[in-house]
Copies of this chain bind each other. A is one copy, B any other.
């Protein structure tokens, strides 16, 4: 049996294992240190009460013959798709319909699975930001859309678009033709956002070059500035050239509950090898119904409750809670003269390491002097070297204590 050799091109999952190794080494050497983790992007606060109530009720329904549910529609129940279409899109003037929404179990899965419907091998040129969420890159390597990595960790064949402080995190539009563009706004890891003008440039590029935008908006709920678009479909013409990914993970604390969705408008087209134009919606529908079986009923009822009046208030509170944490992080770092970015419309604070330390050297300093774990920017791509990510996902008490130690103990 022959295996998929493309997997051999993957570099070892370096970042998080290395963080874990250094952290546990430190913990062993310093058993009394109370390490505070602001590294991984995982939520800490309980689910909104509205979601809890809805799921309790749904569990009860599953225990009675009259209300029991077996297989549901693979694309998700209409009760959830219609609420999403109304609240997330139509309320913002986006021309997106419930039947263009596919409920799924996670944006990580979706951004990987979408590659199934693209021509395999190097038929498409794929562009990603740098630094970048590693899943976009790894799944393209697995699918054979990229070759081996070079010394900087860049994979052959991918187009990397640096998004750094130097260009205000607004990468240059590619000179030549690329076929697929991954955009993530609010950005993981930098916390940057895209203005209406930024997104309009991308949509214009995609329309001109027959490119497809994969727009990951997993963090849209954290946008506080009313001028920043939450969806790419707020841009005219986007529904012909963009697929969008959304998640309840960060918005409503569903990282351990699992519910997300993607939007594939009926108007987005791709091309066959003989030049025929084909609706991506139709082949994604075939993929989704053949290779996926809906998110469970109980979880879909929990997600639906996000759109109840109580659910709306409670998810707003959650978002404000984490954003207040991010503000505390920003202010503490700024008080030390550290350059910080993000943390205003995103739960991630991105910082320039002091004294031109490498990302991992600053990781060690932060761990040793403040007993705080963050994420080295170099782990997200070569352009992240010298940068560092700290997340606002933790309790208020831990964030306060972490920043007290940073301001009092960090020797910079």
Q: Is the CB of B117 within 8 A of A144?
A: no
**Cα distance A135–B291 when bound, in Å?**
8
Q: Is the CB of B2 within 8 A of A273?
A: yes
Residues of B within 8 A of A117 (CB): 3-4, 7
Query: A20 an interface residue at 8 Å Cβ cutoff?
Result: no
Find A62's partner among B42, B52, B68, B109 (CB 8 Å cutoff). B52
From A152-160, A227-235, A251-259, the one touching the partner chain is A251-259
From A184-192, A295-303, A339-347, the one touching the partner chain is A295-303
Find A135's partner among B64, B69, B108, B290 (CB 8 Å cutoff). B290
Each complex incorporates copies of this chain amounting to 2
Size bracket, chain A contacts: 35 or more
Q: Is the CB of A59 within 8 A of B59?
A: yes
Q: Is the CB of A291 within 8 A of B109?
A: yes
Q: Within residues 322 to 366 of chain A, which ones have a CB less than 8 A from any CB in chain B?
A: none
Q: Within residues 206 to 258 of chain A, which ones have a CB less than 8 A from any CB in chain B?
A: 210-212, 253, 255-258
Q: Is the CB of A2 within 8 A of B118?
A: yes
Residues of B within 8 A of A120 (CB): 4, 120-121, 144
Q: Give chain B nearest CB distance to A121 CB in angstroms.
A: 8
Residues of B within 8 A of A45 (CB): 65, 68
Q: Is the CB of A46 within 8 A of B71?
A: no
Residues of B within 8 A of A33 (CB): none
Give A115's nearest chain B residue, CB to CB.
B4
Find A271's partner among B3, B138, B144, B179 (CB 8 Å cutoff). B3
Q: Is the CB of A70 within 8 A of B1?
A: no
Q: Is the CB of B62 within 8 A of A256?
A: yes
Give A49's nearest chain B residue, CB to CB.
B63
Q: Is the CB of B108 within 8 A of A3?
A: no
Q: Give chain B nearest CB distance to A251 CB in angstroms.
A: 14
Residues of B within 8 A of A179 (CB): 1-2
**Cα distance A113–B115 when bound, in Å?**
12
Query: A286 an interface residue at 8 Å Cβ cutoff?
Result: yes
**Cα distance A108–B291 when bound, in Å?**
6
**Cα distance A13–B65 when bound, in Å?**
30
Bitwise, A78-100 to B at CB < 8 A (1) or not (0) is 00000000000000000000000
Give A144's nearest chain B residue, CB to CB.
B120
Q: Give chain B nearest CB distance to A380 CB in angstroms.
A: 15
Q: Is the CB of A257 within 8 A of B297?
A: yes
A interface residues (Cβ-Cβ under 8 A, vs B)? 1-5, 7-8, 10, 13, 40, 42-47, 49, 52, 55-56, 59-60, 62-65, 68-72, 105-106, 108-109, 112-113, 116-121, 123-124, 135, 138-139, 142, 144, 179-180, 210-212, 253, 255-258, 270-273, 278, 280, 283, 286-287, 289-299, 395
Return the 4 tightest CB-CB contacts between A and B, nearest first: A3-B270, A2-B119, A112-B291, A52-B63
